[in-house]
Structures are given as C-alpha cells and as structure tokens.
C-alpha cells in the first residue's frame, strides 16, 4: 500500500516525501487507507458479533467480493478520471448500453467472445465520445458525461425495447456459476483484482500515471511541462469506458441477462467509493487501493444489513452516515499524519 | 393500512352479479338500432366490437423501462388498433411527474375525447387528472390511483394487497402440514406504496397459518441486477427455508439466477406479475418456481375498452348498467401448473 505523492503541482518524477530513513516507512504509509481498513475491520467485527454463522463464512466473503466486482471495475475507471481532474457521470448508462448491446439476439449468436468484444467495444466507444467532447470540444466534463448518461440510457431502452434480454449462451452463464473459480476465487473477482492491479501499475509505475496526476493537480503546469493534456484526457475517458464495458460483461455473467436498468446509479456509487477511498474530487490525488477498499466497504455494509434483515430505508440512512463518518475519519487521520 | 383498493373492492360487483348481467345481455341484442320490445327497454346501450362514433383517446403512461410497463404500452396500442373508430394519441412516457403533467396538458390542449393516465406517481398526478376532468375530458385512471375521485371518471387497476394475500395463501396451503415452516420475502421498491400493500397482504395471509414464520424480508429495485444481488444476500442470510415470495417477475430473472448459482432447491418460489419467462418455468416445472401471482398488464387493454365506451357514451357489455363502472379492481389470480395453459398467452416479455 504505497501512497501517491501529494506534491503534484509539477509533473516531476515521483519522490517519496519522507525526510529520513527511519521516518520513511511512516510517511509512505497512507493513514487514510489505514482508516479505511479500520472501518472494514469494524464492519467485520459487527458481522462476527451479530451473525457469526452466516457472516464468517468463506461463501459469504466470496459473495461480498463477487458483488463488489462489477461496480469495483467501474470505480477503478472513475478513480482515474477523477484523479485526472475530471468526472464521469455516464458510467452507469454506458454499462446499461453495453450490456444490452452485448445481449441482443444478434450478438448472442456470436457466442462468448462476440458478446465480450461487443460490450468492450461499446464501452470504449462511449468513453471516447466523452473524451473527444471534453478534450477537443471543450465541454465541461460534468455536462458532456451528463449528456452521455441520458442518451446512452435512451439508446439502451430503444435497443432492448424495454425488455430483459435473457442470455442463452452457456459459455457465458458458466462464468458466473458457483464452481467457476480458480484457487477458490470466482472468475469475476479475479477480473476485478486484475483490473485493479493494472490500474495500480498504470497510476503508480508509468508515465501515463504521473501525467494523469499532473493534469489533475495543475493542468496549466502540466501543459507548460509539455504534457499533451487533451490526449491525456481523451485516454482517461476511454479507459473509463473500457472499464464500463468490462463491468457490463461481468453483470451479464452475474445476472444472466442484459437490461437497460443495469448499472443504475453506478455513477454515484463509484464516485462515493472513490471519495471514501481518499480520492480528491478536485483531482490530483487518489489511490486505486483506496477505491477497492471503498467498494468493498459498501458491499460489506449491504451484506451485513441483509444478513440482519434490516429494511431498505434504514439501510440508506446508515449508508449515508457511514460515508460521512469514513470521510471525517480520513480528514482527521490525514491531518494528523501531515503534521507528523 | 386499509388503502383505497380496500374500499374499491367493497364497491365491486360480485361475480354473481356479473353472470346475471351476462345472462341478461345474452337475451338481448347489443345494437341499439333494433329495439325488440318493452321488456328490454331498460337494457343499457353497451359498447361492442362494431364501429361506432369515432373516439380519440389520449394515453399518458410512465417510462416503459422494464417488462411490465412495456407490456402495458403494448396492450394499449394493440387494443386500440383493433377498433376502427379509435385513434390513440400516445405521449412519450416519463417517470418525472412534472414532465408527465406537461404531457397530460398537451393532450388536453389537443382536445382528445378521453384520457387514459397511468401516472408515475398517482398522488402527485392528481392535479393533472382534475384539470382534465374540469376541461370536460373524462379520465380513465390506470393502476396507480389518484388522490381524489374527482380526478377520474373510472379507475381500473391491479390489487396489490390481493397479490400478497393470494401469494401468502398459496404458500400457506403448500406448507400446511409442515411444522416450523420458514418463509422469506423479496419485495420490490420499498418507497412505493404498492410494495407495502403487497407485503401487508402477504403478512395477513400468513396469519392464518400459525405454523409458518416469516424469517427474512429484503427489498430489491424491480431490476434483474438488484434481484440477483438481494437474493444472493438472502440465500446467505437464511441457510434453510421452505418458501419465498418474490414480488416481481422482472427482478425474478435475477432471483432465479442467484438461486441457480447457489445450487439450492430446498424451497418453493412464488413470483409476482406474471412474466413469460416465469410462466415458462412453471410449465416446465424444472425449478423452484411453482407459481406466480398475476398483476395483469392486460388492464391497459381494458382501459382502452373503457375509454372507448366512455367516448361513445355506452356501458360495458355483460353488465346491466347504462354507464361504465366508477372503479374496477382486477383479480390477482395464482398461476400454477394446474392452470398455466390458460394464462400462458398473457405472459409478458
């Protein structure tokens, strides 16, 4: 769990901000992430106390991770976009369009690869449209992706005719079955972890990642340093679209169908998970690990509520309270860590 | 809480009344032109398939973003096409009340003869209904009911309480001999009143079976994705149960998927609304799905019939009345293996 450098006004190569060997370990450890791990630990403790039999069960942990997987992949894309100084409100709608397109009868005839290709192509396509509008058309990201939110959902409704597209390709359905695992880990979770790992490497170990942070932190400085801001933004939205395409395919596998209601409110869930994961909404700072933890925290809460038979109104109130609490704890710990 | 459907049910004509009226009309001609004599002078002038006075019906529904609502639109359209004398003016559906009010306004301005409104939110749309009625356009309120009877001439819709009641009875009868039976419930959207009514009916029915305990209830969102998610959680939460009532067949696709993924089959499942997919499962009898409680989208076709009769100032055939009724509550029949063939054609995609 390495933290991103916080001094990002210039696209200089990353340097640990620690000032001595002994303090180095401390400064590299992100206290925001620790706080989040603490929240997760607290949730696990609540689960262990209230429903030990059902909660502390390998199947349940598998379930929590599986349910985190599709929204998790979307969150990785959204995190990168936000770190790059943008916002993507269209992810839920893109997921819907990609999942509907990939499950129309015509597409199903091409089998698993056809459906996967279709979902990813639609995702990247929509993402690039966002990117072109924002980078080269100078539209505000909020507006461009809001427009995509409306139109992609509309296209999805049109294409599906308001009907659930039931998947009949066994190869696709098999991916979501209980025995579809490697070393006990479901395929969908592996995809999630794979995307998260790639996102982490991209952000922390490549020029692309450093440029992303630079563009999000101070675009003007990034431009003066010779970074092609427009290209960078285009690629970030394209990546977010790619993540939506992958997530759409995961939902198809999970639910055995494509529906224009898929990915409903994913944009808000993904942004919320990224924020409680420590990503700065104004850009320039954030971690993939934090986002993954953020998603898992949310799914664990939902799981806990279901196990304890809590009704949905209480669930929503509690969810809101937990978002506020998590962010408050982070502010507190990050202030502490920065004054050390 | 005894909501409007209760009072409405009380106002309903009984089955006996209907058959008596059907007998009456069978002795008479439906056509007003051939008067047959004194004894039938009192017979109402009823609507039938023969072309009559042309009627323009305005239809304002919510956004057809899933199966049942989509079936509502299809039913309205195809029914209207059946009649030469009916012109259907459909506005694009919206789940936003303000937008829908605007759409009803535009239909009023177009001076349609009759309005059929399926509000996204009944209470919120009451003013739109009142406005139309004051403008002299009779309103057929479809399904989600307006707040005031002044806002509509006729209400026709499903019986959410009855759905829960009949689902509960079916499950109760299936588990009659079993002691300490456990039942779980997967509801729809909790912020909709209809969900509360379905649950109330279900709970009331279960009260008649002291051997059954409802051990868990979760609400999904009427979508496949949420159905899959919530059902997975429920299956984890309750290691063993005997029956589940899932409020909605649209989310049922996801519910069934979650059950398949878990590999569990120790329970029976009853669905809700009556989708084609669920009816096919019931017929095949190869899964836990044993029945579904209807909430028939054919009510939209009936609403068109009623609107046409209103426009032509006629009553409904099969009844002695001169006018169409003020309200009609549909019956939430339980479709199981025994009667599946009868209902299969009404299943919606």
End-to-end CA distance of chain A: 19
Between residues B274 and B96, which one has the greater pLDDT? B274
Instruction: Reply yes or no on whether the pLDDT at B4 is more than 60.
Output: no
* Mean per-residue pLDDT over chain B, rounded: 86
Q: Greater confidence, B32 or B112?
A: B112
pLDDT value at position A334? 60
Sign of CA dihedral B180, B185, B190, B194: negative
B218–A309 CB contact, under 8 Å: yes
Closest CA to B76 of B95, B94, B89: B89
What pLDDT does A310 receive?
A: 86
Nearest CA in chain A to B64: A162
| Cα B47 from chain centroid (whole Å) | 22
pLDDT given for residue A333 in this prediction = 64
Place of tokens 């009641």: B165
Confidence at residue A149, expressed as pLDDT on a 0 to 100 scale: 96
| Interface A:B, Cβ pairs < 8 A | 114
Query: Which residues on chain A are in Cβ contact (under 8 Å) with B64?
Result: 157, 162
For B148-214, the DSSP string reads -GGG-SEEEE--HHHHHHHHHHHHHHHTTT-TTEEEEEEES-TTSHHHHHHHHHHHHHHTT-TTEEE
Taking CA–CA distances from B231, the nearest residue in chain A reads A306
Distances (CA, A) of B122 to A41, A228, B58, B61, B106: 45, 53, 17, 11, 19
Where does the pLDDT of residue B44 fall: very low under 50, low under 70, confident under 90, or very high at 90 and above?
Answer: low
The DSSP output letter for B111 is T
B247 and chain A: CB distance < 8 Å anywhere? no
Q: Grade residue B11 by pLDDT with cuts at 50, 70 and 90.
A: very low
Question: Residue B20 pLDDT more than 70?
Answer: no
Do residues A127 and A94 make contact, with C-beta atoms less than 8 angstroms apart? yes
B46 has a pLDDT exceeding 70: yes
Q: How large is the average pLDDT for residues B144-165?
A: 94
The string of pLDDT tens digits covering residues A227-241 is 999 999 999 999 999
Q: Dump pLDDT digits (tens) for A282-329.
A: 899 899 999 999 999 999 998 999 888 888 788 888 888 877 887 787
Residue with tokens 């972890």: A193
**A270 vs A300: CA distance, rounded Å:** 15
Cβ separation A51–B237 shorter than 8 A: yes
Q: Model confidence at A29, in pLDDT bands (50, 70, 90)?
A: low
Find all residues with CB under 8 Å of A170, minimum gap 6, and list them.
none
Tell me chain B's radius of gyration from C-alpha atoms.
21
**What digits encode the pLDDT tens for the residues B236-256?**
999 999 999 999 998 999 999
Chain A residues close to B224, C-beta within 8 Å: 164, 255-257, 259, 261-262
Assigned token pair, B234: 């429920």
Quickly state the pLDDT bin for B320 (edges 50, 70, 90).
confident
- Does position B78 have pLDDT exceeding 80, yes or no? yes
Residues A1/A30, Cβ–Cβ less than 8 Å: yes
Give me the pLDDT at residue A337, please: 52
Are A306 and B236 an interchain contact pair (Cβ–Cβ within 8 Å)?
yes
Mean pLDDT of A120-125: 97
pLDDT at B94: 80
Could you report the per-residue pLDDT of A156-184, keeping only the tens digit for each? 988 988 888 889 899 999 898 878 889 98
Tokens coding B270? 């009853």
Smallest Cα distance from A27 to chain B, Å: 39
pLDDT in tens, B191-227: 888 899 999 999 999 999 999 999 999 999 889 999 9
* B222 neighbourhood in chain A, CB within 8 Å: 261
Q: Which residue of A has its CA nearest to B263?
A: A178
With CA atoms as reference, the chain A residue closest to B215 would be A309
Confidence of residue B338 (pLDDT cuts 50, 70, 90): very high
Question: What pLDDT does B43 receive?
Answer: 55
Looking at residue A228, what DSSP letter applies?
-
Give which of B17, B5, B12, B7 is closest to B320, Cα–Cα.
B17
Q: Do A255 and B254 touch (CB under 8 A)?
A: yes
ipTM tops the 0.90 cut = no
pLDDT at A74 exceeding the cut of 70: yes
Mutate: best of A70, A72, A164, partner B, most B CBs <10 A: A164
CA nearest A124: which of A159, A156, A157, A98?
A: A98
Top-confidence residue, B28 or B143: B143
The pLDDT-based confidence of B55 (bands split at 50, 70, 90) is very high
Partner-chain contact A161 B225, CB within 8 Å:
no
Which residues from chain A sit within 8 angstroms of residue B262, using beta carbons? 178
**What local confidence, expressed as pLDDT, does residue A313 receive?**
81
Point out the residue among B217, B262, B277 whose CB comes nearest to the CB of A309.
B217
- What pLDDT score does B244 carry? 97
Q: Report the gap between the CA of A288 and the closest CA in chain B (Å).
A: 24
pLDDT above 70 as % of chain A: 88
Q: How much of chain B, in percent, has pLDDT values that exceed 70?
A: 87
Residues of B in contact with A62 (CB under 8 A): none
pLDDT tier for residue B36 given thresholds of 50, 70 and 90? very low
pLDDT for B41: 46
Is there a contact between A282 and A188 (Cβ–Cβ < 8 Å)? no
**What are the chain A neighbours of B68 within 8 Å (beta carbons)?**
none
| CA distance, residue A133 to nearest chain B CA (Å) | 28
CA A68 – CA A54 distance, rounded (Å):
18
CB spacing of A257 vs B253 below 8 angstroms: yes
Q: Among A58, A67, A256, A308, which would you mutate to test the B interface (most chain B Cβ atoms within 10 Å of its Cβ)? A: A256
Closest alpha carbon to B195 in B155, B146, B251: B251
Q: How confident is the model at residue A105 (pLDDT cuts 50, 70, 90)?
A: confident
Among A31-35, A159-163, B50-54, B329-333, the least confident range: A31-35
E strands, B30-152, in order:
55-60, 86-90, 114-117, 139-142
Please report the pLDDT score of residue B86 as a whole number: 94
Cβ–Cβ gap B262/A309 under 8 Å: no
* Residue listed under structure tokens 């017929």: B283
Q: What is the pLDDT of residue A335?
A: 59
Does the CB of B190 have a partner CB in chain A at under 8 Å? yes
pLDDT recorded at residue A222 = 93
Amino acid A153: pLDDT: 93
pTM of the model: 0.80
């Amino acid at each position: 769990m390495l933290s991103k450098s916080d001094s990002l006004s210039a696209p200089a190569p990353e340097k640990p901000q620690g000032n001595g060997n002994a303090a180095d370990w401390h400064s590299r450890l992100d206290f925001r992430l620790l706080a989040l791990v603490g929240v997760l630990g607290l949730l696990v403790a609540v689960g262990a106390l209230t429903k030990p039999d059902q909660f502390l069960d390998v199947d349940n942990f598998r379930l929590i991770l599986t349910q985190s997987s599709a929204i998790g992949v979307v969150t990785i894309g959204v995190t990168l976009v936000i770190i790059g100084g943008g916002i993507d409100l269209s992810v839920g709608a893109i997921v819907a369009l990609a999942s509907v397109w990939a499950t129309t009868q015509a597409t199903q005839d091409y089998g698993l690869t056809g459906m996967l290709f279709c979902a990813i192509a639609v995702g990247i396509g929509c993402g690039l449209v966002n990117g072109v509008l924002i980078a080269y058309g100078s539209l505000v990201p909020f507006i461009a992706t809001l427009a995509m939110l409306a139109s992609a959902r509309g296209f999805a409704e049109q294409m599906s005719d308001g009907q659930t597209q039931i998947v009949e390709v066994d190869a696709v359905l098999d991916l979501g079955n209980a025995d579809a695992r490697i070393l006990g880990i479901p395929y969908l979770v592996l995809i999630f972890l794979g995307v998260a790992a790639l996102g982490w490497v991209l952000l922390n170990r490549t020029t692309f990642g450093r440029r992303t942070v630079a563009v999000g932190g101070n675009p003007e400085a990034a431009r003066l340093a010779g970074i092609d801001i427009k290209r960078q933004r285009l690629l970030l939205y394209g990546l977010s679209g790619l993540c939506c395409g992958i997530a759409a395919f995961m939902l198809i596998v999970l639910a055995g169908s494509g529906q224009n209601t898929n990915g409903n409110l994913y944009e808000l869930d993904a942004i919320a998970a990224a924020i409680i994961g420590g990503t700065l909404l104004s850009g320039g700072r954030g971690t993939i690990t934090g986002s993954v933890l953020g998603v898992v925290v949310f799914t664990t809460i939902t799981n806990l509520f279901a196990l304890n038979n809590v009704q949905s109104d209480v669930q929503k109130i509690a969810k809101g309270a937990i978002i506020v609490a998590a962010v408050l704890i982070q502010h507190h710990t990050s202030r502490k860590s920065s004054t050390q | 809480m005894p909501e409007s459907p209760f009072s409405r049910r009380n106002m309903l004509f009984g089955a006996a009344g209907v058959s008596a009226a059907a007998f009456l009309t069978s002795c008479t001609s439906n056509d007003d032109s051939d008067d047959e004599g004194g004894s039938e002078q009192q017979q109402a002038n009823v609507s039938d398939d023969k072309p009559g006075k042309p009627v323009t019906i305005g239809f304002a529904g919510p956004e057809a973003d899933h199966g049942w609502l989509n079936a509502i639109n299809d039913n309205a359209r195809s029914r209207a096409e059946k009649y030469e004398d009916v012109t259907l003016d459909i506005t694009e559906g919206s789940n936003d009340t303000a937008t829908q009010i605007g759409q009803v306004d535009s239909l009023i301005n177009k001076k349609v003869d009759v309005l059929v409104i399926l509000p996204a939110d009944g209470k919120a749309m009451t003013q739109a209904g009142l406005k139309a009625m004051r403008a002299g356009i009779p309103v057929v309120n479809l399904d989600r009911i307006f707040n005031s009877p002044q806002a509509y001439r006729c209400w026709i819709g499903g019986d959410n309480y009855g759905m829960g009641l009949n689902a509960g009875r079916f499950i109760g009868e299936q588990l009659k001999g079993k002691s300490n039976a456990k039942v779980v419930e997967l509801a729809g959207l909790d912020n909709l009143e209809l969900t509360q009514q379905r649950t109330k009916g279900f709970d009331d029915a279960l009260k008649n079976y002291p051997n059954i305990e409802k051990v868990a209830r979760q609400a999904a969102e009427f979508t496949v994705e949420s159905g899959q998610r919530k059902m997975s959680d429920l299956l984890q939460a309750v290691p063993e149960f005997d029956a589940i009532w899932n409020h909605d067949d649209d989310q049922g696709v996801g519910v069934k998927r979650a059950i398949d993924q878990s590999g569990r089959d120790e329970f029976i499942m009853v669905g809700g609304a009556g989708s084609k997919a669920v009816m096919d499962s019931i017929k095949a009898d190869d899964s836990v799905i044993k029945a579904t409680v209807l909430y028939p989208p054919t009510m939209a076709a009936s609403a068109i019939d009623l609107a046409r009769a209103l426009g032509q100032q006629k009553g409904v055939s099969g009844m002695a009345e001169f006018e169409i009724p003020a309200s009609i509550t549909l019956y939430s029949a339980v479709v199981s293996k025994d009667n599946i063939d009868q209902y299969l054609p009404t299943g919606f995609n």
